[in-house]
Structure 1
Amino acid sequence: MLNMADSQQRAVTAAFAPPPPLWKHFTQDNLNRLEEIKKEASKGPNGEPVRDKKWSPSELRALDIPPELRFLVPPEIPTGEYSVFGELQTLSTTLPSLQEQGIDQLYPGPTETNEQDNTQGPPQLNHAYYLLKISKSLLLNFLEFVGALSVSPEQFESKVNDLRNLFINAHHLLNLYRPHQARESLIMMMEEQLQRSKDEIDQMDKVKAEIESALEQMQAQAGETKPEEPPAEKVSAPKEDSRGAEDARHMWDILDKEI
């Protein structure tokens, strides 16, 4: 049973660091001052500022900006490795091979470069087949591991290494699917967006057709029931206004129903 002293001795390897003090410089006054400097620097030969100028971080760093405003300029894009909460992260998206990590590869097939490129090379690797084989090998090795523990527990290390190697190979095979997963996810998102646009267009066409039909119907009714013009002194403007308001109300009822 762990006591309080043991729990306090455990160090957190990736603690959330406090925000850097530079956040205090991100005020509205400083942002307005930076915009004024941009406008002054983007003036043309005639003294008129260039509209909609896109400033790159390197161009902003080349300007004569006060020290307190330089925190508002985006930094350079990191290259290579960078540190996040004390842990080094790499920007490389290339998946290292098992040989580079010093691990035995249990499945044959093309290298990652040949798989990502469309160049001629060995036949494509059947990931599902080898994942199934590794899964069966994991079950078998686990049974052997349990049997070894029941007979001679001191010989557990070799079976643990075999299980570890199998899990790492299975994980590496799954990671090889990541580019394919990203492409398929992007295709699915674009198809959903296209379908939503088509549905909106169809809905607008439907509303347009109903409005045109209602207008034609009102026009036909007005032509059929057009009364004779009464004498000028008996024409009442409020009746015409009430009929126009009724038509407008009918039109809005159609729009509210469809939209």
Structure 2
Amino acid sequence: MAEGNTFNAPFPAPPPSYKHFTKQNLSRLRRTRKEAGIPPPADGQPPEKDVDILTLPAELRYLVPPEPPSDSKLTVFGDTVNLDAPRVTLADNSIEQIYPDDPSVLSNPQPHLIALARSMLTTFLSLTGILAQNPDLQQDKMGDLQTIVYNLHDIINQYRPHQARESLILMMEERLEKMKGEIQRIDQSKESVAKLLQELQSNGIVQAMQEEKDGKGDAVVEDAAVTKRKARQRAGWAALENEMG
């Protein structure tokens, strides 16, 4: 690779101030706040009244969060973004709106998107024919194709809030179903254990298992009955282990 070649990063580099966010600096800031009589933040929220950053060393000034914005204008990567700015319409950009100006477009945009997609395909096929016969006449069809694409994007962008709400509802429903499944599995395990204990109780294995646990069966003479009892005990413990996983 030739020297001097540079590559542009896909994302901007982090600001150099991130190096100041260390445990030592955070401890120093807490001590400074304590000396100034400022109570510690609650639940990770910044205090209502903080220290004056101009009185802090340079490495601690970046640790004090800035004041919340007084308006809806924010600066993101050097660009100013206004959250309360009205939506830019096609008319604002002098673009013809070819879909109906009706509330039903937002409630059910699928038919209109399909119609625009078909129009885009037809216009593209017409454009290819013009390019094959007389390329000098392609300007009008190119403009029509751009208008269709702009209208497609405009409908999709208007549908974003509804899409966000539906996605959130779907996530909540999936979480609810997962919790119901966990509760159902716990109930099934409880019923299985209760049934197993009832069977062991009816066979007299529970008492034998308790005797083995308490050491009461050590003095029993090893004979056929004792061997059979121990076999039942091992079977009972094995059944419990298999059931409980």
Number of matched pairs:
218
Structure 2 gaps of 5+ residues are: 209-214, 220-228
1:19 alignment partner, one of 9, 14, 18? 14
Label 1:222 to 1:166 Cα distance change in 2 as closer, same or farther (>3 A): same
* 2-structure distance, mates of 1:167, 1:133: 12
Are the counterparts in 2 of residues 142 and 163 from structure 1 also a CA contact under 8 Å?
A: yes
Q: Which amino acid aligns with 2:48?
A: E
Are the counterparts in 1 of residues 97 and 151 from structure 2 also a CA contact under 8 Å?
A: yes
Are the counterparts in 1 of residues 106 and 155 from structure 2 also a CA contact under 8 Å?
A: no
User: Sequence identity, in percent?
Assistant: 34
Are the counterparts in 2 of residues 148 and 155 from structure 1 also a CA contact under 8 Å?
A: yes
Label 1:80 to 1:254 Cα distance change in 2 as closer, same or farther (>3 A): same
Label 1:99 to 1:57 Cα distance change in 2 as closer, same or farther (>3 A): farther
Q: Which amino acid aligns with 1:135?
A: A
Shift of 1:90: 4.9
* 1-structure distance, mates of 2:74, 2:38: 35
In structure 1, what is the equivalent of residue 61 of structure 2? Answer: 70
* 2-structure distance, mates of 1:221, 1:185: 54
* 2-structure distance, mates of 1:11, 1:20: 19
* 2-structure distance, mates of 1:224, 1:54: 51
Label 1:103 to 1:253 Cα distance change in 2 as closer, same or farther (>3 A): same
Shift of 1:98: 1.2
Are the counterparts in 2 of residues 57 and 75 from structure 1 also a CA contact under 8 Å?
A: no
Tell me whether 1:239 sits opposite 2:231 in the alignment.
no
Label 1:180 to 1:224 Cα distance change in 2 as closer, same or farther (>3 A): closer
Give the TM-score, by structure 2 length. Answer: 0.70
Deviations 1:26-54 (A, max 9, x none): 111112233445566465xxxxxx8x823
Structure 1 SS opposite 2:75: strand
Tell me whether 1:209 sits opposite 2:191 in the alignment.
yes
Tell me whether 1:162 sits opposite 2:134 in the alignment.
no
* 2-structure distance, mates of 1:11, 1:99: 39
* 2-structure distance, mates of 1:19, 1:160: 41
In structure 2, what is the equivalent of residue 252 of structure 1? Answer: 241
Deviations 1:146-174 (A, max 9, x none): 23323432222222111101111011112
Tell me whether 1:150 sits opposite 2:129 in the alignment.
no
* 2-structure distance, mates of 1:64, 1:192: 47
Are the counterparts in 2 of residues 134 and 166 from structure 1 also a CA contact under 8 Å?
A: yes
Label 1:194 to 1:11 Cα distance change in 2 as closer, same or farther (>3 A): closer
* 2-structure distance, mates of 1:198, 1:77: 40
Give the TM-score, by structure 1 length. Answer: 0.66
* 2-structure distance, mates of 1:146, 1:123: 31
Shift of 1:252: 3.4
In structure 2, what is the equivalent of residue 105 of structure 1? Answer: 97
Structure 1 gaps of 5+ residues are: 44-49, 116-121, 227-235
Q: Which amino acid aligns with 2:150?
A: I
